Chains A and B, each alone.
Chain A
Amino acid sequence: MNDSPGSQAYPMAQAISPAGPSPCPQAQSHEGKFLPRFQGTTRLTYLRNLAFRGNVSDATVMLAGVERGDPKAAEELLALVYDELRRIAAFKMSHESPGQTLQPTALVHEAWLRLVGNERPTFNNRAHFFHTASEAMRRILIDRARRRRTERHGGGYVRVEFDGFDPAAPDADDQLLAVHEAVDKLALEHPVQAQLVKLKYFAGMTNEEVSEVMGVSVATVKNYWTFSRAWLRDEIDGS
């Protein structure tokens, strides 16, 4: 992937990999080299404290299990990624200025780095991870939208906890939930296209990233995306 657009997709993963399979906190003095895109001490401290706390090998073990077709491993990986995404989002939201937009793709890539990125993963591992992360992101967003909707509809005692995910307007929540349901229907007829929607819409990935993770050309990604949007629009409009 030397000069392909995809090589820009995971710059941090490439930057961190020279640390070898078991980077340790002693590498701190070289952090400028390993984590070139991080600026400011807050995030560096955060990564230093949390990046190597044991989940790295957990995720890799789970990914190996997923590749063997172990359904329990897939479930565990999803739970792990789900929690990690929420932690990262909460951290970002408590340390960055209010009103800043939280990018799902940045969250997913950071989760990748923190859970797997320094373990020299295989192509399949990476594909499995990003598919899992897009599903985790979808569930986080849906959970959030449902809680907010419950709160609005008279369930005011249900406290919406702060976790950084904030599809702001009621309309946004309604659209999110409608898309969520429609994507499940799309998956029955067109599983590949539904997967693509999860990667692009829920995980915010670019066409190039989706192309790499799904193993199809960028042109195909664009065609499937155009098709899927029309399909979902048609489904939601009920025409």
Chain B
Amino acid sequence: MSEDPGRDVVIFTEALRFSAEERADFLDRACAGDENLRRKVEALLRAHERVGDFLETPPIETGTDDESDEGPLATGNSNGSSSDK
């Protein structure tokens, strides 16, 4: 896959390699006066600081539903499976 990931992806990724003190200088150089891009990347860097364990756990847990007597094949919802969005 050789798609261009986009400048915000590249600059954000690169910026993470710099310490907080060095980051402003790096962004000056990398964004080269593109204020829009710089605001975008700075917002992403702030979001990164508070990302915590966001999305690290896939969103499934089992329940202890007491409805498990329906059997494995009784629950399929074979309609509407590809029309929903």
The interface of chain A, by Cβ under 8 A from chain B, is 46, 75-76, 78-79, 82-83, 86-87, 90-91, 93-95, 98-105, 136, 139, 141-143, 161-168, 172, 175-176, 179, 189-190, 192-193, 197, 200-204, 214-216, 223-224, 226-227, 229-234, 237, 239
Chain B residues with CB below 8 A from A100, complex form: 62
Q: Contact: B60 with A167, CB < 8 Å?
A: yes
Q: Contact: A83 with B81, CB < 8 Å?
A: yes
Is B78 part of the contact surface with A, judged by Cβ < 8 Å?
A: yes
A-B contact count (CB 8 A): 155
Decide: A83 near B78, CB < 8 A? Known: A227-B12, A230-B44: yes
Some 21 contacts from A to B, beta carbons below 8 A apart, are A76-B82, A83-B78, A90-B75, A94-B71, A98-B62, A101-B62, A141-B59, A141-B60, A162-B75, A165-B60, A167-B60, A192-B5, A193-B5, A197-B55, A200-B55, A202-B58, A226-B13, A226-B48, A232-B54, A233-B47, A234-B43
The interface of chain B, by Cβ under 8 A from chain A, is 1, 3, 5-6, 9, 12-13, 16, 43-48, 50-51, 54-55, 58-65, 67-78, 81-82, 84
Q: Contact: B45 with A86, CB < 8 Å?
A: no
Interface of B, secondary structure class, is loop
Decide: A239 near B47, CB < 8 A? Known: A102-B60, A141-B59, A176-B59: yes
Q: Contact: B68 with A233, CB < 8 Å?
A: no
Q: Contact: B46 with A239, CB < 8 Å?
A: yes
Q: Contact: A193 with B9, CB < 8 Å?
A: yes
Chain A residues with CB below 8 A from B54, complex form: 229, 232-233
| Closest Cβ neighbor of A139 among chain B residues | B84
Chain A residues with CB below 8 A from B69, complex form: 94
